Amino acid sequence: MAKIDLNTLFQFNLFLSFLGEFLIMLMFIRVNHELENSYVVKAEELNDSLRELSVAKEKAEKAAQSRSMFLSSMSHEIRTPINSIIGFTNIILDDDPKEEHKDFLSMIQFSSKNLLVIINDILDFNKMEAGKVELEFIPFDFQSLIHKIYHSMKVKADEKNLEFKLEIDEGISKFLIGDPNRLTQILINLISNAIKFTLDGEIGLVVKLEEGSNDKVIVRFIVRDTGIGIPEKNQKIIFDHFSQADSSTSRKFGGTGLGLSIVKKLVELYGSNITLESKEGEGSEFSFILEFAKSELIPEENRFVIQKKSSNQRKNKTILVVDDNELNLKVAFQFIRKCGFECQLASNGKEALQIVSKEKISLVLMDLQMPDWDGFVTTEKIRASGIFTPIIALTADVSIDVSNHVKRSGFLDIIHKPFLPEDLVNKIELYAE
């Protein structure tokens, strides 16, 4: 056997070592190249996905904007004729009609108000989805509000021969700070549902003091009924929008399925949540708690009642109604004259400016959507002429954007069509000079 030189062996081992490292480096370069290629491909795929997402986002935003504009337009176009229907119905009902006509008129009034409730639910849901609903915190008469809600809903319960019981904790402060309109909306939705889905038996509204201190109260609200109940499998989805227990419920009892979804969102705005206990065939109970600060101030509505009772000067006040819709003008004219005020009419902004420039007007009720000069332009021109007669916006558009625009544009307040007669009278007496 040939003798292997140690130096040669060392060099051979060194060569193998370098060769191994070289092969590893080649493998690394190859893997790295494949990774780079893979990275480039993935980066291109990611960019494509981002572009697709951007396009989809833009389409979704445009769709949401279009939906919002459509609902706002629908609000105005549908609420305007409903205003005329409800207005004329109220005027005729108040004019002592024949007994056989009274029932038909009441049905027209009831159906119109139901249609209005559906429209309002859709619009409220749209605003909540867009994040445009905020709570306001103002002093209000809590005890009085609860009793008003009870008495207004008791009429509906009586129509179905249902007993409606109210339990209210008298220990709750009379004046609180919160959002009376949203609280009313929550309770009316829940009580309306209870009445709708109860064929016989009773409805209950419980309002009790859960916790109290020197400056705040926590109040629990419970609405219960002995109605059809909700199957356990459907209780998790009952608060979803456009959802009812099943399709036959919607066919039999009507409604959009938005009421409970709106209630849930409003309660969550308060930082709370709503719970449900229900048994099919036995009834349901909805419960939630809300926190209110105590108020030492007497709310405006209470101060106004005192002022209103002592005021008997309606005949000396002239109200100018500005609207391009002839039916709206007729409704307003008949109603305002019937309440004892003098009334003048203008069908456009230019005519309104001429009237307030020449005659003594106590208050202007200004429609916002008119051709040529809309309500905003007309108000701006009236103010620019040095005339500071109180102006209230009168509109069927209930969008937040319009309400905010009204606040910035020289109007004292806003009345949404269709309006309740007593609401219009209250506003006129509050603002008319």
Over residues 413-422, mean pLDDT:
80
Q: Does some domain include residue 118?
A: no
Do 332 and 242 share a domain, yes or no? no
Contact 191, 223 (CB under 8 A): yes
d(CA 166, CA 186): 16
- Do 179 and 320 lie in one domain? The reply is no
Q: How confident is the model at residue 320 (pLDDT cuts 50, 70, 90)?
A: very high
pLDDT above 50 (res 230): yes
Based on its alpha-carbon atoms, the radius of gyration of the chain, rounded to whole angstroms, reads: 33
What's the average model confidence in pLDDT over 283-306? 75
Q: Give residue 39's pLDDT band: very low, low, confident or very high (50, 70, 90).
A: low
Q: What is the pLDDT of residue 210?
A: 92
pLDDT greater than 60 at residue 300: no
- What is the percent of the chain with per-residue pLDDT over 70, rounded to a whole number? 79
| Residue that terminates a domain, selected from 294, 324, 349 | 294
Same domain, 258 and 305: no
Q: Are residues 269 and 316 in the same domain?
A: no
Domain presence at residue 125: no
Average of per-residue pLDDT across 285-309: 70
The lowest-confidence range among 151-155, 383-387, 398-402 is: 398-402
Domain end, chosen from 294, 320, 349, is at: 294
Q: Is the pLDDT of residue 298 over 70?
A: no
Whether 144 is covered by a domain: the verdict is yes
Do the domain assignments include residue 23?
no
Candidate from 1-5, 108-112, 353-357, 394-398 with smallest mean pLDDT = 1-5
Residue 251: pLDDT above 50? no
Mean pLDDT on 76-104: 79
Output the pLDDT for position 353.
94
Q: Are residues 289 and 307 in the same domain?
A: no
Tell me the per-residue pLDDT of 95-125, one tens digit each, with 9 for 90 and over: 788 887 887 887 777 777 767 777 777 777 7
286 and 333 belong to one structural domain: no
- Domain of residue 376, residue span: 300-431
Number of domains in the chain: 2
Q: Which of 306-310, 346-350, 374-378 has the least mean pLDDT?
A: 306-310
> Quick one: how far is CA 383 from the chain centroid?
32
Pairing of strands 391-395, 413-416: parallel
The span from the CA of 428 to the CA of 157, in Å, is 32
Q: Smallest Cα–Cα separation from 184: which of 217, 140, 226, 218?
A: 140
Predicted confidence band of residue 306 (pLDDT cuts 50, 70, 90): very low
pLDDT at 68: 66
Q: Is the dihedral of CA 369, 374, 378, 384 positive or negative?
A: positive
Question: pLDDT for 340-362, tens place per residue?
Answer: 889 999 999 999 999 999 999 99
- Residue 85 has φ and ψ, to the nearest 5°, of -60, -50
Q: Is residue 367 part of a domain?
A: yes
Summarised one tens digit per residue, pLDDT across range 278-292 is 988 889 999 999 999
Residues 322 and 377 in one domain: yes
Task: Kindly state whether residue 246 falls inside one of the protein's structural domains.
Answer: yes
Confidence class of residue 74 from pLDDT cuts 50, 70 and 90?
A: low
* Mean pLDDT (the chain, rounded): 80
Q: Are residues 267 and 329 in the same domain?
A: no
pLDDT value at residue 241:
56
Report the CATH number at residue 153. Answer: 3.30.565.10
**CATH code, domain carrying 381:** 3.40.50.2300
Of 176, 177, 182, nearest to 133 by C-alpha is 182
How much is the pTM? 0.58
Q: Per-residue pLDDT for 209 more than 90?
A: yes
Residue 280 lies in a domain: yes
Do 272 and 150 have their domain in common? yes
Listed residues 242, 270, 294: the one ending a domain:
294
- 24 within domain boundaries: no
Q: What is the mean pLDDT of residues 182-211?
A: 92
Integer CA distances (angstroms), 368 to 73, 325, 374, 391, 400, in order: 13, 11, 6, 11, 14
User: Are 420 and 373 in the same domain?
Assistant: yes
Same-domain pairing of 278 and 161:
yes
Q: Do residue 350 and residue 412 come from a single domain?
A: yes
Burial 39-50 (b: 16+ CB within 10 A, else e): eeeeeeeeeeee
